[in-house]
Amino acid sequence: MEANRIYPDPSQVREELIQKYPAKVAKKRAKSIIVNDPEIIPEVQANVRTVPGIITQRGCSYAGCKGVVLGPTRDIVNIVHGPIGCSFYAWLTRRNQTRTESLMDANYIPYCFSTDMQEENVVFGGEKKLKIAIQEAYDLFHPKSIAIFSTCPVGLIGDDVHAASKEMREKFGDCNVFGFSCEGYRGVSQSAGHHIANNGVFKHMVGRNNTPSKGKFKLNLLGEYNIGGDAFEIERIFEKVGITLVSSFSGNSTVSQIENAHTADLNVILCHRSINYMGDMMETKYGIPWMKVNFVGAESTAKSLRKIAEYFGDEELKAKVEAVIAEETPKVKAVIEEILPRTKGKTAMLFVGGSRAHHYQDLFAELGMTTVAAGYEFAHRDDYEGRHVLPNIKIDADSKNIEELKVVPDPELYNPRKTEAELEALKEKGLEINGYDGMMKQMTKKSLVVDDLSHYESEKLIEIYKPDIFCAGIKEKYVVQKMGIPLKQLHSYDYGGPYTGFEGAVNFYKDIDRMVNNPVWKLIKAPWEKAGNGSGLAASYVTQ
Amino acid sequence: MKHAKTATQNACKLCNPLGACLAFRGIENCVPFLHGSQGCATYIRRYLISHYKEPIDIASSNFHEETAVFGGSHNLKIGLKNVSDQYKPKVIGVATTCLSETIGDDVPGILREYKKEFKNGSPMPILIHASTPSYQGSHIDGFHAAVRATVTTLAEKGEEQSVINLFPNMVSPADLRYLKEIFADFQAPVMLLPDYSQTMDGGPWGEYHRIPPGGTPASAIVSAGSAAASIEFGSTLEASKSAAGYLEEAFDVPRYHLSLPIGIKESDKFFSLLETLTGKARPEKYEDERRRLIDAYADGHKYVFEKKVILYGEEDLVVAMTAFLSEIGMTPVLCASGGKSGLLKKRIKELIPDMEELGIKVREGVDFVDIEDEAKVLKPDFLIGNSKGYTMSRKNNIPLLRLGFPVHDRFGGQRMHHLGYRGTQELFDRIVNTVIEQRQNASSIGYTYM
């Protein structure tokens, strides 16, 4: 095995990554390439614009809004206002799954609605066409909700999607129509779209149905998008321990669940980046605390369940949680014990998402694999360093462009679920409420943290570290594999999954074993095997 | 849902810049560059990659709020400089998007300024500009726009050469390799544009590549203006929009315009044209392929005869497939496309004059909901087209035979061969097997001989 593997000196790696850049770009990138120290977490520059011409992993605001947050709710008709491409490219590509209760229930996820804007709409305005499209969708489906998403040209030609939505909402009376100004050029990445989506969902959906939800331990699951069936596994576990899921944001969710979400007593957050705004806003308006959890990894799942039970403070629930963990653990253990000898000591790199690069480190740890370098595609400093840095994050032009909703306690519905004293007591038990420590605290000393990894840097890192597996998305997959390193897609899961909970952990162990121990890699001669020791990359420069 | 719709549900077309990026990827040492938001490059990369299973780098000028307001000139220049310095490309293919077209950026003007401003830096790549607003046409228009822009930028008049220009349309890497093989066997020099047979379907890398090897060299495209002839596949592609049309107009290079060579008749036309242009008989190998194909037609006719099919995809593919299917006695009860050239029906009728009597219906500018509505009435035996017909196939329990682009729910989309006798053979075998599988599945006995 590779237990005695010597890792490269990260400070030298950092120097090597930036030395080829001209001074100005080197200075900029140096702030985003950081050698980690979990004790004294250094600052990471994040959520800053990608330099034009540098090929980035990042997507756009529309992708974050429609693709990520709104996409997984099955009974909203999502109409993309713009030329055809944007709607087509987001058509089922995120692999969000959903399960209707009966065959009669609405499910619009397999559809791709677009106003298919033509030149005359760009010249003379597209609002009229948009309204007809909304009317058509209404006549055809009579959905509970119709959401409108603006693409790049819409903002420029001045179509007012909000006014059009309001007009149609008032006209219908029984269909909630609302719009999102999520043009692709807004913000730095898809992260802007998450924020815009949070605002819209909070404003137009949450709190519309005050029917008290049933159940003793009621929570919402925030930032879980049911990719590859992840939500189904979490739902299975919740049901087993007796936790009531009022609403998910937004994997396997429905309009009525979201409208009723404010009747839950706890929000648990998985993907902090994409949904933390919702947690904060619901806390302020309704008094529901939120807690960061992680259901990726068997041990993390157990830990998160215990945290939830501790929050509710119910002995019966705690006992049930322990019983379920005891019941689920043996089958997970049986698999990991068989696989561990083949994965132990191997190394991984994760450059993906705004949370996944953190969460999946838990699974790799369970496999005995070390994460030597990690970074996010579209996260902010708080996702790296923890939320305590929030007051120090510089507000720039890009963040100013995204609306901050002014939220105040609801005069009737505000009801703090825990008193200050109770929250303090929970904190003493190690339960962090409304907090998140970020990724770096958990990573080892001298591991490398890189934000918005560029194409050049990824090749260089692979060359230097020769990791056993690289985790990113489909855009990176085939270039990494051409160098003889397996790439695990952590957006689409390489069409596998679920990877959450106990059953998901087993799936992941098996998938990673199959990848890192696959005989095909022996057939591929990596560039460094030919070029000798490194130095395969030509000089490369970028300018700002 | 018979009424004319304003909105599109489940589109049967992709956007203009996607086609341009693919075409630029078929030029040697070229980086495709989208002038617009970074999301366009990201979405188009992920989409092309899902079909080809190959990396494709597409640079972007990364528009932000103020770029959208004040114009994209600054970002475009920075982007070009960075791509030039990092990738050292020979060519950068700049395609526009709905965003840069809506604000009305003068891209040719910006490129002229850029060349002036940076003339003393590292070697200046050849800059090609294709206008590809997403609110016009579809991906296939972007593809042709990029090919035409490439030729317009590069081709020069020179002493006439024996080389033949071949503009193959948006076909698979397997098709491109086959076309090159044919020309090699004819011992006829060819300028194939674009040629992404290697860049979109290559091997592992023994050494690092900034840009994957392969593609049509710029130097070869320069001499397109002095070629003996241009052959162009694509029945609905008009001379005013095509590379061959430009070469004929600007340099008097004769333009030969064919349908995509699928089936015996259309492949015959292509091989006959090659014989005429080269003055050589077709190599025996292709006679063999043709004979085997006819033999297969005879052996398999009982399975396919009078089978009803709904066919959809790019217009040129639909025309060519319609010709092939009627040649083997199948009835394409609906030939549909999301494209809207206005020529689809006309071109099909030219190839199959009795199309109405045969029950062939043609519709352009449709989406999958329209096609599904038709399917409910027409009750086809199966569907032929790209992966996006899967939902309709599943819902209505009609088998789907995948071809064209995109094919992301089957392995090897990039290696599907459609053209010539050999490509038709593959298609024919797959069609027959689809019928056999369907019958076998439906059999209550479980026959092993079908």
Sheet holding B400-402, edge to edge: B361-364, B331-337, B308-312, B382-385, B400-402
Indicate whether B329 pLDDT > 50: yes
Q: Residue B208: which of A61, A84, A537 has the nearest Cβ?
A: A537
Q: Check whether residue B64 and residue B137 sit in a common domain.
A: yes
Nearest-by-CA chain B residue for A532: B207
Per residue in B20-61, pLDDT tens? 999 999 999 999 999 999 999 999 999 999 999 999 999 999
At how many degrees (to 10) do helices A161-172 and A127-141 cross?
Answer: 30
pLDDT band at A4 (very low <50, low <70, confident <90, very high): low
Q: Which of A74, A186, A194, A356 is catalytic?
A: A194
CB contact under 8 A, A59 and B38: yes
Q: Check whether residue B229 and residue B136 sit in a common domain.
A: no
CB contact under 8 A, A91 and B60: no
Residue A541: the pLDDT is 45
Note whether residue B124 is domain-resident.
yes
Q: Check whether residue B291 and residue B408 sit in a common domain.
A: yes
What radius of gyration, in Å, describes the C-alpha atoms of chain A? Answer: 23
Domain containing residue B85: 16-154
**In chain B, which residues have their Cβ closer than 8 Å to the Cβ of A185?**
37, 63-65, 67-68, 99
What one-character DSSP code corresponds to residue B397?
Answer: T
Q: Check whether residue B234 and residue B264 sit in a common domain.
A: yes
Indicate whether A360 pLDDT > 90: yes
Residue A530: the pLDDT is 65
Residue A24: the pLDDT is 83
Q: Considering only residues 437 to 456 of chain A, which have any Cβ-Cβ distance to chain B shorter than 8 Å?
A: 455-456
Q: How far is Cα B69 from Cα A157, in angstroms, rounded to an integer?
A: 11
**In chain A, which residues have their Cβ closer than 8 Å to the Cβ of B405?**
none
Indicate whether A533 pLDDT > 50: no
Domain ranges of chain A: 62-184
Element (H, E) at B114: helix B107-117
Q: Rounded to a whole number, what is the largest CA-CA distance in chain B?
A: 78
pTM: 0.96
Nearest-by-CA chain A residue for B34: A53
Indicate whether A2 pLDDT > 60: no
Q: How far is Cα B38 from Cα B46, in angstroms, rounded to an integer?
A: 12
Q: Check whether residue B179 and residue B124 sit in a common domain.
A: no
Residue A400: the pLDDT is 84
Note whether residue B447 is domain-resident.
no
Note whether residue B7 is domain-resident.
no
CB contact under 8 A, A543 and B79: no
Note whether residue B5 is domain-resident.
no
Note whether residue B10 is domain-resident.
no
Q: Considering only residues 19 to 58 of chain B, which have any Cβ-Cβ distance to chain A shorter than 8 Å?
A: 33, 36-47, 49-50, 53-55, 57-58
* A433 close to B (CB below 8 A): no
**In chain B, which residues have their Cβ closer than 8 Å to the Cβ of A140?**
1
For A156, half-sphere exposure in the C-beta direction (CA atoms, 13 angstrom radius) is 27
State mean pLDDT over A506-516: 98
Note whether residue B300 is domain-resident.
yes
Backbone φ/ψ region at A379: left (φ over 0), alpha (ψ -120 to 50), beta = beta
Per residue in B76-110, pLDDT tens? 999 999 999 889 999 999 999 999 999 999 999 99
State mean pLDDT over A271-285: 98
The number of distinct structural domains making up chain B is 3
Token pair for A56:
């980035």
Q: How far is Cα B17 from Cα A60, in angstroms, rounded to an integer?
A: 16
The second-level CATH assignment, the architecture, of A62-184 is 3-Layer(aba) Sandwich (3.40)
pLDDT band at B447 (very low <50, low <70, confident <90, very high): confident
- Core vs surface per residue A504-535: b (16+ CB within 10 A) or e: bbbbbbebbbebbeeeebeebebbbeeeeeee
pLDDT band at B209 (very low <50, low <70, confident <90, very high): confident
Per residue in B175-198, pLDDT tens? 999 999 999 999 999 999 999 999
Tell me which residue of B101, B83, B21 sits closest to B54, measured CA to CA: B21
At how many degrees (to 10) do helices A230-241 and A501-516 cross?
Answer: 140
Burial of B219 (0-12, 13-18, 19+ CB in 10 A): exposed
Average pLDDT, chain A: 94
Q: Check whether residue B246 and residue B337 sit in a common domain.
A: no
Residue A536: the pLDDT is 39
Query: Which residues have C-beta within 8 Å of that of residue A412, sequence separation ≥ 6?
Result: none
Residue B449: the pLDDT is 86
Note whether residue B399 is domain-resident.
yes
Q: Check whether residue B430 and residue B305 sit in a common domain.
A: yes
Active site residue A194: yes
Beta bridge partners of A145: A76, A176
**In chain B, which residues have their Cβ closer than 8 Å to the Cβ of A524?**
204
Indicate whether A1 pLDDT > 60: no
Indicate whether A172 pLDDT > 90: yes
Tell me which residue of A356, A358, A221 sits closest to A278, measured CA to CA: A221
Pick from B278, B306, B336: which residue ends a domain?
Answer: B278
Residue B122: the pLDDT is 75
Q: A290-292 and A347-351: which strand pairing?
A: unpaired
A193 or A2, greater pLDDT = A193
For a pLDDT cut of 70, what percent of chain B falls above it?
Answer: 99
Beta bridge partners of B363: B336
Q: Residue B7: which of A51, A57, A116 has the nearest Cβ?
A: A116
Tell me which residue of A375, A352, A393 sits closest to A34, measured CA to CA: A375
Q: Residue A156: which of B1, B103, B207 has the nearest Cβ?
A: B103
Task: Among A47-51, A333-337, B309-313, name the one with the lowest average pLDDT.
Answer: A47-51
Residue A23: the pLDDT is 83
CATH at residue B101: 3.40.50.1980
Q: Check whether residue B266 and residue B291 sit in a common domain.
A: no
Is the preceding omega at residue B399 within 30 degrees of 0, hence cis? no
pLDDT band at A531 (very low <50, low <70, confident <90, very high): low
State mean pLDDT over A197-215: 97
Per residue in B230-248, pLDDT tens? 999 999 999 999 999 999 9
Q: Check whether residue B332 and residue B430 sit in a common domain.
A: yes
Per residue in B340-387, pLDDT tens? 999 999 999 999 999 999 999 999 999 999 999 999 999 999 999 999
pLDDT band at A537 (very low <50, low <70, confident <90, very high): very low
Q: Check whether residue B347 and residue B406 sit in a common domain.
A: yes
d(CA B320, nearest CA chain A) in Å: 25
pLDDT band at B121 (very low <50, low <70, confident <90, very high): confident
Average pLDDT, chain B: 96
Residue B22 in contact with residue B414, Cβ under 8 Å? no
Q: Check whether residue B289 and residue B422 sit in a common domain.
A: yes
Q: Check whether residue B90 and residue B184 sit in a common domain.
A: no
Note whether residue B64 is domain-resident.
yes
Residue A144 in contact with residue B13, Cβ under 8 Å? no
Say how many CB pairs under 8 Å bridge A and B. 248
Residue A171: the pLDDT is 98
Per residue in A455-472, pLDDT tens? 889 989 999 999 999 999
